[in-house]
């Protein structure tokens, strides 16, 4: 957390990284994230089967919130099914059926066969009325392999040539491994139909990202950083994992936020005016 002393030192009345997204204008979108955002919307609107994959803190939840906000403002004919079960390792075909029926305000029938028939009829009628439907599941890396196999059955529901429901899975890199047919050949019918889209690090967009965060609290980057700090942050967040000699770029929003917060706190402790490269290297 950003300490009170750091807020006073940098003339901040609020933390630029806490409750930092209050509306679409607060969402930073690099070109990579713009592509993911557009792919999620087009999948929800026009159909498809995608898996959005990113490290913890890469911005997956922000993109999900942005999508739901856009749908509510611009396209209420998109009906989003959002299974609420907390432990995704327990999600199964029956619970997904229950979620579809609940989000369509319909009481589910008792047997899975009856639910399936009920869902197909309801989705077809809704689609003929001009609605689109999408299942969105977060923490999808925890979904059991058996349940992922059933996802293809939901995606195959159709009325003539029209698909009745699209699917967006959102999860951490483990989901990519699960969808790898060389690791899980039993999922080849799913993995060959599911487009994998990966959230990339901020890379060359670090300054633009931080500029937006500090603009929200009425400060500029020149008020906080020396010019050499940004390259130092890039180097600091290139991490060697295990025995690999190739560094992994961990410059994701949450990790950048934590790094800058720690630097701002240290800056005050050391009696420095601004964050510089040496301070970043010593974190």
Query: What are the pLDDT digits (tens) for 6-59?
Result: 999 999 999 999 987 888 888 888 888 899 999 999 999 999 999 999 999 999
Within this chain, do residues 93 and 215 fall inside the same structural domain, yes or no?
no
Residue in 107, 20, 97 with CA at minimum distance from that of residue 65:
20
Buried b (16+ CB within 10 A) or exposed e, 84-100: eeeebeebebeebbbbb
Within this chain, do residues 15 and 154 fall inside the same structural domain, yes or no?
no
What confidence tier does 105 reach under pLDDT thresholds 50, 70, 90?
confident
Residue 215 has pLDDT above 70, yes or no: yes
Report the pLDDT averaged over residues 62-76: 92
pLDDT given for residue 26 in this prediction? 84
**Range with the poorest average pLDDT among 165-174, 245-254, 271-280:** 245-254
CATH of the domain at 234: 1.10.8
Domain that residue 165 falls in: 31-198
Tokens of 146: 């058996």
Within this chain, do residues 9 and 64 fall inside the same structural domain, yes or no?
no
Q: What is the mean pLDDT of the chain?
A: 92
> CA-CA distance, 278 to 82, in Å (whole number)?
46
Place of tokens 């993911």: 36
Measured CA angle at 214 (ends 253, 225), to 5 deg: 90
> CA-CA distance, 263 to 273, in Å (whole number)?
12
Residue 242 has pLDDT above 70, yes or no: no
CA-to-CA dists, residue 100 to 35, 84, 93, 133, angstroms: 27, 11, 11, 9
More confident residue, 242 or 62: 62
Domain end point (choices 172, 198, 224): 198
Domain end point (choices 142, 176, 198): 198
Q: What is the share, in percent, of the chain residues with pLDDT greater than 70? A: 99
Q: What is the CA radius of gyration of the chain?
A: 22
Q: How many domains are contained in the chain?
A: 2
Within this chain, do residues 221 and 193 fall inside the same structural domain, yes or no?
no
193 contacts 181 by C-beta, under 8 angstroms: no
Domain end point (choices 198, 221, 254): 198
Coil, helix or strand at residue 221: helix
Report the pLDDT averaged over residues 168-180: 96
CATH of the domain at 120: 3.40.50.300
Within this chain, do residues 132 and 188 fall inside the same structural domain, yes or no?
yes
Within this chain, do residues 137 and 85 fall inside the same structural domain, yes or no?
yes
**Number of helices and strands in the chain (H, E):** 13, 9
> CA-CA distance, 148 to 51, in Å (whole number)?
12
Within this chain, do residues 132 and 226 fall inside the same structural domain, yes or no?
no
Measure the N-to-C terminal CA separation of the chain; round to a whole number of Å: 15
> CA-CA distance, 184 to 55, in Å (whole number)?
21
Within this chain, do residues 120 and 259 fall inside the same structural domain, yes or no?
no
Q: What is the pLDDT of residues 187-199, one digit of tens each?
A: 999 999 999 999 9
Within this chain, do residues 20 and 39 fall inside the same structural domain, yes or no?
no
What confidence tier does 169 reach under pLDDT thresholds 50, 70, 90?
very high
Tokens of 199: 């959230």
Within this chain, do residues 144 and 66 fall inside the same structural domain, yes or no?
yes
More confident residue, 71 or 239: 71
pTM over 0.85: yes
Within this chain, do residues 45 and 13 fall inside the same structural domain, yes or no?
no
Neighbours of 14 (CB within 10 A): 13
Within this chain, do residues 191 and 206 fall inside the same structural domain, yes or no?
no
């Amino acid at each position: 957390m950003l300490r009170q002393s750091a807020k006073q030192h940098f003339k901040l009345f609020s933390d630029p990284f806490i409750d930092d997204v209050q509306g679409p204008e607060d969402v930073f979108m690099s070109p990579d994230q713009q592509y993911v955002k557009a792919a999620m919307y087009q999948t929800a609107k026009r159909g498809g089967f995608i898996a959005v994959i990113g490290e913890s803190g890469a911005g997956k939840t922000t993109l999900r919130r942005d999508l739901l906000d856009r749908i509510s403002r611009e396209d209420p004919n998109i009906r989003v099914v959002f299974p609420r079960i907390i432990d995704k390792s327990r999600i199964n075909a029956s619970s997904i059926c229950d979620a579809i029926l609940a989000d369509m305000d319909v009481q589910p029938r008792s047997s899975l066969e009856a639910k399936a028939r009920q869902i197909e009829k309801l989705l077809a009628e809704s689609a003929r009325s001009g609605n689109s439907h999408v299942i969105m599941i977060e923490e999808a890396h925890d979904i059991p392999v058996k349940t992922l196999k059933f996802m293809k059955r939901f995606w195959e529901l159709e009325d003539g040539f029209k698909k009745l429901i699209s699917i967006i899975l959102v999860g951490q890199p483990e989901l990519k491994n699960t969808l790898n047919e060389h690791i899980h050949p039993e999922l080849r019918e799913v993995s060959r139909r599911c487009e994998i889209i990966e959230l990339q690090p901020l890379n060359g967009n670090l300054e633009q990202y931080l500029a937006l965060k500090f603009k929200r609290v009425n400060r500029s980057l020149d008020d906080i950083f020396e010019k050499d700090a940004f390259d130092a942050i890039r180097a600091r967040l290139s991490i060697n994992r295990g025995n690999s000699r190739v560094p992994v770029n961990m410059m994701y929003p949450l990790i950048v936020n934590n790094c800058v917060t720690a630097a701002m706190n240290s800056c005050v402790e050391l009696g420095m005016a601004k964050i510089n490269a040496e301070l970043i290297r010593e974190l």
